[in-house]
Structure 1
């Protein structure tokens, strides 16, 4: 019996040794694969953040793709990840479309190397080594070979889009498309050779229906806050008068053709206290209804030599004619101000422009009433008695007494600032009633009341370019998100 027990004891020891190795392997498997899962999660979070940072830079401007790569690397740098090894340029792929709900119907993944077209970016971290601590011990077993490390691959795809709220149903065909540039590229301050249109330059928006040529403007179909379309010429005028009625939408728009009658002009001119078919209670004027002078010289863009001013409006003459009455010194840099800046000064300082002889239909406040109080709320009002409104001016110029008077209607700040869609009409082959995509929204300051010629289609809007709509504007919203 003793000999048998001795034999059993001798057999147990090798079995225990094998069992210990197996248990060690199981433990190592759990620990090392747990470590692998931890690294995979950490790297996935890192690449998600890098993709989002990269997508944020895809604004269709020059250098957007390189800025996207830099932003992704800067996002990884604080995490101790060696950037040059992990994120070379070839680990970025840019897409114009990926078939998301933001893309045109039936579009799939389309790669691009153009800053104009890139809306999405895929960022990849490939072959990231994760060192194994315990599994390599299994090498002691016959026929078992374990690597000292495993490699992890992670990827993320993010996109950037924007949507607009409270903009008038107006669009213009990109005037620089004939030169091969998008509107965004043409006005980019970093454009080689300088921008073709700068803040402070004036621009004539001319309505020429059925002629979707660069530089012409047209109307869009208004949509309410629920996204439902509004029909009829009067509704078009009402939405031009009050863009806050317009719901929020991505830059996928629809043109509005057909008869417009005079409603676009009526809507536009409510800002100047001129009403026809619309009421001041619903559509109050701007705080300050004077028209501002046109530029004195123009650029020739695409054969149009009378639409795009150079910003050289006669600021000094304007001061002498409309601000001599109050005796205040002219601001030192007045002559270099844009008309928008002048309007802001007039409103904030309480010195409205006026003509003492009322030759322009703009009478001056009494000296005792100056300066007019600067408001501290959303509408410009004044506790002083409301002056009598003058008789209608034969040439249709407006009553100026709405800078801050507590009359009906009270003036509303910002009424003369509009965001207008820029569309590449040639590229999209715009013809009549159809869906279009805005490549940008331009911000304009309204300079003068609308002018209409002999027909309903002879409409001119004179504006001053202020820049592109951006995240600084409350109507503009950027949507950056992960898609994969």
Structure 2
């Protein structure tokens, strides 16, 4: 008997079945937990990808210009539609995540399956979350005009969706009555917009609205002006912002040159005169340069017209003139010299540059009505040469005429007084890689910036840009004084309604930050 008991005690046959029976609930539990972890991970990935897509779509419109909030909402509503799986809502666990367009008037809003806030900044540390408690530190101003200019980021939060666990979730949540929990996702994206190879110039927006929502340019916005030929052919008289001079619509000044260019008026003038500028500027972070003497700056503009700098300088190929320098002037003395400004005779018999507008009813007499004398200009310079018939119905811009002279081979045609548009051989060879008659600059809402305490005639930093633009120089700068006029015609701007001619300069990038 004792032997039988001892044999039974040492018999190990069938022990695996006992161990499996004991561990089977644990094995099944871990299997269910692994399945749940996979399901909830897939759900969170779907929600996170949706949040990222919404944030990137919205951030791509946050260029700091007017209407950026409503454009961001439109982009999120129309460009993004993501599916998520394994939630307790939707059809068989499939939920299509969408947004909506509440109108672009609020700095924080919600629509569809997401909510969002437009932010002016984010915490420096990724471990610091943006919550309801600290949101006021980072959210853009509730006033649309101010907030849009501040906005650099958008935070998108997906509305939490339920997840039903197979594994008893009460062990995880501590709620015996609930076998599930909610899953959400948050994403922060920002927009970096800028230009490279741009001249360090800013132009005060001639179409900037005042505090009452009106302006002195006929009520047009900058974007409306560039899309309407009757408006953007208006001639604009720019004047330099000097020390103590107020910066307002129609003024221009200088941006901080890129590192390595050097200080002083001559270095600044060289960065304006060159055909190979190296400056890059972001739309939310430009800095103005303290006012400089205007003398070399006048030369920096005029070398583009085949006019030799007064004090020498600008004698290398990168400072060459445009390929069409017709300006209504011939040298006072004969010969194919490269003249200085004071050696030119303007508007002599039979010579005519691009004329100014007939009247200047806008911007206190510094913006014309767009009605300029095309017929006399054409007959003076090109006699009976044909021109596009469409110009008879819609008057072209001066820039269009200038470009047509080049494409039609009329640059070398002599006017009645003997002027040709070809630069003198004694000047540097004409630059053909870029259009030297175009002035590129950052367009600032100077009234609003100065009202906010910025000194645009001095050194102000981190200024938002309404748009980057190009302006056609219609005539040389006549004076070296600080109140000298630079006559320009608006050609194109970045952003809404832009014509696309500045795309080669643009460096736009929406990127995820969190």
User: How far apart, CA to CA, are the structure 2 residues paired with 1:137 and 1:218?
Assistant: 66
User: How far apart, CA to CA, are the structure 2 residues paired with 1:443 and 1:186?
Assistant: 16
Residue 242 of structure 1 corresponds to 274
Q: Partner of 2:276: helix, strand, or coil?
A: helix
Residue 391 of structure 1 corresponds to none
Residue 53 of structure 1 corresponds to 57
Residue 392 of structure 1 corresponds to none
Q: Does 2:74 match 1:43?
A: no
Q: Partner of 2:287: helix, strand, or coil?
A: strand
Q: State the aligned residue count.
A: 425
User: How far apart, CA to CA, are the structure 2 residues paired with 1:137 and 1:172?
Assistant: 62
Q: Partner of 2:183: helix, strand, or coil?
A: strand
Match of 2:182 among 134, 148, 151: 151
User: How far apart, CA to CA, are the structure 2 residues paired with 1:232 and 1:298?
Assistant: 35
Structure 1 stretch displaced more, 458-467 or 436-445: 436-445
Q: Partner of 1:36: helix, strand, or coil?
A: helix
For the 8 Å contact 1:62–1:185, the answer to whether it is kept is no
User: How far apart, CA to CA, are the structure 2 residues paired with 1:100 and 1:342?
Assistant: 52
Residue 230 of structure 1 corresponds to 262
- Deviation (angstroms), 1:149: 3.8
For the 8 Å contact 1:120–1:159, the answer to whether it is kept is yes
Residue 247 of structure 2 corresponds to 213
- Deviation (angstroms), 1:322: 1.8
User: How far apart, CA to CA, are the structure 1 residues paired with 2:26 and 2:223?
Assistant: 66
For the 8 Å contact 1:61–1:188, the answer to whether it is kept is no
Residue 81 of structure 1 corresponds to 96
CA displacement, residues 103-138 of structure 1 (integer Å, 9 cap, x when unaligned): xxxx95133442333221111112123343x31599
- Deviation (angstroms), 1:445: 1.0
CA displacement, residues 369-424 of structure 1 (integer Å, 9 cap, x when unaligned): xxxxxxxxxxxxxxxxxxxxxxxxxxxxxxx3239x89851342411112222232
User: How far apart, CA to CA, are the structure 1 residues paired with 2:510 and 2:97?
Assistant: 26
Match of 2:119 among 80, 95, 103: 95
- Deviation (angstroms), 1:75: 4.3
- Deviation (angstroms), 1:469: 3.0
User: How far apart, CA to CA, are the structure 2 residues paired with 1:239 and 1:330?
Assistant: 37
Deviating 4+ runs (over 4 angstroms): 1-6, 11-18, 84-87, 136-139, 143-148, 175-178, 181-185, 194-197, 405-408
- Deviation (angstroms), 1:483: 1.4
Q: CA 1:422–1:456 in 2, change beyond 3 Å: closer, same or farther?
A: same
CA displacement, residues 337-391 of structure 1 (integer Å, 9 cap, x when unaligned): 1111111211112112755332xx614xxxxxxxxxxxxxxxxxxxxxxxxxxxx
User: How far apart, CA to CA, are the structure 1 residues paired with 2:455 and 2:228?
Assistant: 26
Match of 1:110 among 124, 139, 157: 139
Residue 265 of structure 1 corresponds to 298
For the 8 Å contact 1:280–1:409, the answer to whether it is kept is no
Residue 410 of structure 1 corresponds to 430
- Relative to the length of structure 2, the TM-score reads 0.71
Q: CA 1:237–1:35 in 2, change beyond 3 Å: closer, same or farther?
A: same
Q: Does 2:30 match 1:26?
A: yes
- Deviation (angstroms), 1:13: 8.9
Residue 508 of structure 2 corresponds to 478
For the 8 Å contact 2:161–2:184, the answer to whether it is kept is yes
Residue 323 of structure 1 corresponds to 382
Q: CA 1:95–1:190 in 2, change beyond 3 Å: closer, same or farther?
A: farther
Cα RMSD over matched residues? Answer: 4.0
- Deviation (angstroms), 1:49: 1.8
Residue 356 of structure 2 corresponds to 294
Residue 373 of structure 2 corresponds to 314
Structure 1 stretch displaced more, 282-291 or 267-276: 282-291
User: How far apart, CA to CA, are the structure 2 residues paired with 1:144 and 1:450?
Assistant: 79
Q: Partner of 2:372: helix, strand, or coil?
A: coil
For the 8 Å contact 1:21–1:138, the answer to whether it is kept is no
Q: Partner of 2:184: helix, strand, or coil?
A: strand
Q: Return 5+ residue gaps in structure 1 as ranges.
A: 102-106, 364-399
Q: CA 1:431–1:45 in 2, change beyond 3 Å: closer, same or farther?
A: closer
- Deviation (angstroms), 1:275: 0.8
Q: CA 1:76–1:145 in 2, change beyond 3 Å: closer, same or farther?
A: farther
For the 8 Å contact 2:170–2:178, the answer to whether it is kept is no
Residue 341 of structure 1 corresponds to 400
Residue 385 of structure 1 corresponds to none
User: How far apart, CA to CA, are the structure 1 residues paired with 2:17 and 2:291?
Assistant: 96
- Deviation (angstroms), 1:76: 3.6
- Relative to the length of structure 1, the TM-score reads 0.75
Q: CA 1:308–1:178 in 2, change beyond 3 Å: closer, same or farther?
A: same
For the 8 Å contact 1:87–1:125, the answer to whether it is kept is no
- Deviation (angstroms), 1:96: 2.2
Q: CA 1:467–1:421 in 2, change beyond 3 Å: closer, same or farther?
A: same
User: How far apart, CA to CA, are the structure 1 residues paired with 2:435 and 2:231?
Assistant: 21
